[in-house]
Amino acid sequence: MKFEGLPSAVYISVWFDYYTVRDLPKEEAAEGSDMEVKGIDGKLEKSDSTSADEISHLSIDIGGSLIKIVYFSTNSKCSTNDEAPTLSKERQEVPYGDLNHHILSGRLYFVKFETSKIEDCIKFLSSKKLQQCGAQCHHSHAVDKIKIKATGGGAFKFADLFKEKLGLTLDKVEEMESVVTGANFLLKAVNHEVYTYIGGQKEYVQIDQNDLYPYLLVNIGSGVSMIKVDGDGRFQRVSGTSVGGGTFLGLGKLLTKCQSFDELLELSHQGNNRVIDMLVGDIYGGLDYSKALERNDSSHDVRFGKIGLASTAIASSFGKAISENKELEDYKPEDIARSLLRMISNNIGQIAYLNALRFGLKRIFLGGFFIRDHAYTMDTISVAVDFWSKGEAKAMFLRHEGFLGALGAFMNYKDESTDSMPPQLVEQQPAKRSSSCIVDRIHNSTRVHENENGATDCRLRVSSSFKIYDEVKRC
């Protein structure tokens, strides 16, 4: 690899952690109730709107329901963190000999807004000093020349709005490409990015980078895209379904009066889908099912053995809502939410598996904001994949599930002028706490990561060079 033309690579030390509104200090929560920030460093930036963060790069993914933002900030506050000493030390060790690599110390932030509350997003952005980005991109401080990378349908829809309100030009990055780039990056660069979720057990998967491709990337946003990825920049959208996160929230809102995704997910925890779903057992005799078994044992074995359906399998989602003389009000919102979640998760898992099968893909990675690390969702999808593949395929989830597109767009800065930010963020250091990986019980929490000092200690190097990977391997 030749670096002559490249001014520098930037090494960044980043802690990943997850924050939600709930974790925010009260004043923060009040300010943007639906904003969710995934920040670094186990601590959220307190002074979002006032601090003089220097955001050098920002990318935005404007989806149908959510706006996802990834930005890099050189805020020095990180050094005040408890863990800073460690980090500092590590950072000092960073240079691997390439003297011309400039190290930029900073953090990568992950923020999201609801698309319907785009005003909040604009307010948020206007509080940030995005000029830095523009400056870096174009050596110009002219406001109207500031470009940020953007992807998602909203990049087209809201282009004028951003121009008008923020003077920002949205530099559109193709959506699928972004998602794939983001996923490729995460899969290659970030350890403990991938995990399976089976029977309530979360298990991290080590990705062999030499045997990564091809894989199926299932990005579950409002809708679902299924993308066959053959390599960097080589991918094809092979399928998708309109039954996705938007359907969950949309139908859920209509059925339960829940106002937010999280509320709905929370509800689903406490629900029992048997009240609403028609189970195989309901059709084959309902409560008298066991009696039916006694009466006709052999036949039962033949039947269920042949079809392979357990009596608890859902025969028809919401099928029980047919036969009972009950109105919507007579059902518990919890049960409805649960039934809905299972229906959608199961369906996605099935279609994903069928597509993986079709193209002979062994790995299925699921991303997108629908999953949200939600145990039951993941469990259902996993079970669906497991069921239909007869155990041969496994659903794997990405920790940065929701930010694939935004991350991909972020990576896209490489294509800009020569002094641009290098494209690859590379996590160089495995997480220290791999041994203490958090394994939640399904029903305890929706957030796997939200407690403890679950911060994953890692350094990201931002570089334009693929050579970095070699270095990473050396690490």
Partner 1 sequence: MASPTTKDQSHIEIDDINEESQQITEKDIVEKDMAPLPGSSIHRSSSRPQLDVSGAAIQGNFEEKDPAILLPNQTDDISHLALDIGGSLIKLIYFSRHADRQVDDGRKRKVKERLGVTNGSRRSYPILGGRLHFVKFETSKINECLDFIHSKQLHCGGMDPRCWPSDAPPSENAVIKATGGGAYKFADLFKERLGVSIEKEDEMNCLVSGANFLLKAIRHEAFTHMEGHKEFVQIDQNDLFPYLLVNIGSGVSMIKVDGDGQFQRVSGTNVGGGTYWGLGRLLTKCKSFDELLELSQRGDNSTIDMLVGDIYGGMDYSKIGLSASTIASSFGKTISENKDLEDYKPEDISLSLLRMISYNIGQIAYLNALRFGLKRIFFGGFFIRGHAYTMDTISFAVQFWSKGDAQAMFLRHEGFLGALGAFMSYEKHGLDDLMVHHLVERFPMGAPYIGGNVHGPPLGDLNEKISWMEKFVRKGTEITAPVPMAPPATTGLGGFEVPSSKGVLRSDASKLNVGVLHLVPSLEVFPLLADPKTYEPNTIDLSDHGELEYWFTVLSEHLSDLVDKAVASEGGTDDAKRRGDAFARAFSAHLARLMEEPAAYGKLGLANLLELREECLREFHFFDAYRTIKQRENEASLAVLPDLLMELDSLTEDMRLLTLIEGVLAANIFDWGSRACVDLYHKGTIIEIYRMSRKKMQRPWRASERKNNIRKVVDDFDAFKGRMLGSGDRKPQPHKRALLFVDNSGADIVLGMLPLARELLRRGTEVCKVYQYDPSLSPSIYAERFRFQRSTIQNFMQVVLVANSLPALNDVTAMELPDIVAEAAKHCDILRGAAEAGGLLVDAMSNIQDGYKENTPSVPLMVVENGCGSPCIDLRQVSSELAAAAKDADLVILEGMGRSLHTNYNAKFKCDALKLAMVKNQRLAAKLVKGNIYDCVCRYEPAS
Q: Please choose, from the candidates 102, 60, 53, 132, the residue with its C-alpha nearest in 3D space to the C-alpha of residue 463.
A: 102
Among positions 173-192, residues that touch partner 1 (CB under 8 A) are 174-176
Q: Does 368 bind partner 1 (CB under 8 A)?
A: no
Stretch that binds partner 1, among 18-26, 203-211, 221-229, 441-449 (CB under 8 A): 221-229
Q: Please choose, from the candidates 251, 258, 245, the residue with its C-alpha nearest in 3D space to the C-alpha of residue 276.
A: 251
Among positions 142-171, residues that touch partner 1 (CB under 8 A) are 152-154, 156-158
Q: Does 114 bind partner 1 (CB under 8 A)?
A: yes
- Per residue, what are the HEC states of 222-260? CCEEEEEEEECCEEEEEEEECCCHHHHHHHHHHHHCCCC
Using CB atoms within 10 Å of the CB of residue 117, give its burial: 0 to 12 exposed, 13 to 18 middle, 19+ buried.
Answer: middle
The β-bridge relationship of strands 456-463 and 215-220 is unpaired
With b meaning 16 or more CB within 10 Å and e meaning fewer, what string describes 382-407?
A: bbbbbbbbeeebbbbbbbbbbbbbbb
Provide, rounded to whole angstroms, the least separation between the CB of residue 113 and partner 1.
Answer: 12
Report the greatest alpha carbon distance in the chain.
83
Question: Binding residue for partner 1 (CB under 8 A) from 257, 390, 473, 474?
Answer: 257
Q: Does 239 bind partner 1 (CB under 8 A)?
A: yes
Q: Does 249 bind partner 1 (CB under 8 A)?
A: yes
Residues 181 and 409: their CA atoms lie apart, in Å, by 8
CB of 385 closer than 8 Å to CB of 353: yes
Residue closer to partner 1, measured from CB, 37 or 280:
280
Provide, rounded to whole angstroms, the least separation between the CB of residue 223 and partner 1.
Answer: 4
> Residue 84 contacts by C-beta under 8 Å, 6 or more apart in sequence?
78
In order of 282, 287, 289, 331, 352, the CA distances from 323 in angstroms are 11, 15, 18, 13, 32
Provide, rounded to whole angstroms, the least separation between the CB of residue 322 and partner 1.
Answer: 5
Question: Binding residue for partner 1 (CB under 8 A) from 39, 42, 134, 245?
Answer: 245
Provide, rounded to whole angstroms, the least separation between the CB of residue 416 and partner 1.
Answer: 21
Q: Does 251 bind partner 1 (CB under 8 A)?
A: yes
Among positions 401-420, residues that touch partner 1 (CB under 8 A) are none
Question: Binding residue for partner 1 (CB under 8 A) from 222, 345, 380, 420?
Answer: 222
Stretch that binds partner 1, among 24-32, 61-69, 102-110, 119-127 (CB under 8 A): 61-69
Residue closer to partner 1, measured from CB, 136 or 169:
169
Residues 93 and 36: their CA atoms lie apart, in Å, by 33
Residues 407 and 169: their CA atoms lie apart, in Å, by 18
Among positions 307-366, residues that touch partner 1 (CB under 8 A) are 307-308, 313-323, 327-328, 331, 336, 343, 346-347, 350-351, 354-355, 357-358
Residues 269 and 327: their CA atoms lie apart, in Å, by 22
Provide, rounded to whole angstroms, the least separation between the CB of residue 295 and partner 1.
Answer: 7
Residue closer to partner 1, measured from CB, 99 or 322:
322
Helices (H) and strands (E) in the chain, counts: 17, 18
> In the structure encoding, which two tokens stand for residue 346, read together?
């199961």
Question: Binding residue for partner 1 (CB under 8 A) from 84, 243, 437, 438?
Answer: 243
> In the structure encoding, which two tokens stand for residue 307, read together?
């079809």
Question: Binding residue for partner 1 (CB under 8 A) from 8, 20, 65, 75?
Answer: 65
Stretch that binds partner 1, among 86-94, 136-144, 252-260, 464-472 (CB under 8 A): 252-260
Provide, rounded to whole angstroms, the least separation between the CB of residue 232 and partner 1.
Answer: 18
Contacts with partner 1: how many residues (CB under 8 A)? 77
Residue 250 corresponds to which amino acid?
G
Stretch that binds partner 1, among 49-57, 97-105, 120-128, 218-226 (CB under 8 A): 218-226
Q: DSSP secondary structure string, 339-379?
A: HHHHHHHHHHHHHHHHHHHHTT--EEEEESTTTTT-HHHHH
Residue closer to partner 1, measured from CB, 113 or 413:
113
Q: Does 388 bind partner 1 (CB under 8 A)?
A: yes
CB atoms within 10 A of CB 102: 14
Question: Binding residue for partner 1 (CB under 8 A) from 223, 405, 408, 423?
Answer: 223
Q: Does 73 bind partner 1 (CB under 8 A)?
A: no
Question: Binding residue for partner 1 (CB under 8 A) from 70, 87, 122, 276?
Answer: 276
SS3 463: strand
Stretch that binds partner 1, among 98-106, 293-301, 396-404, 418-426 (CB under 8 A): 293-301
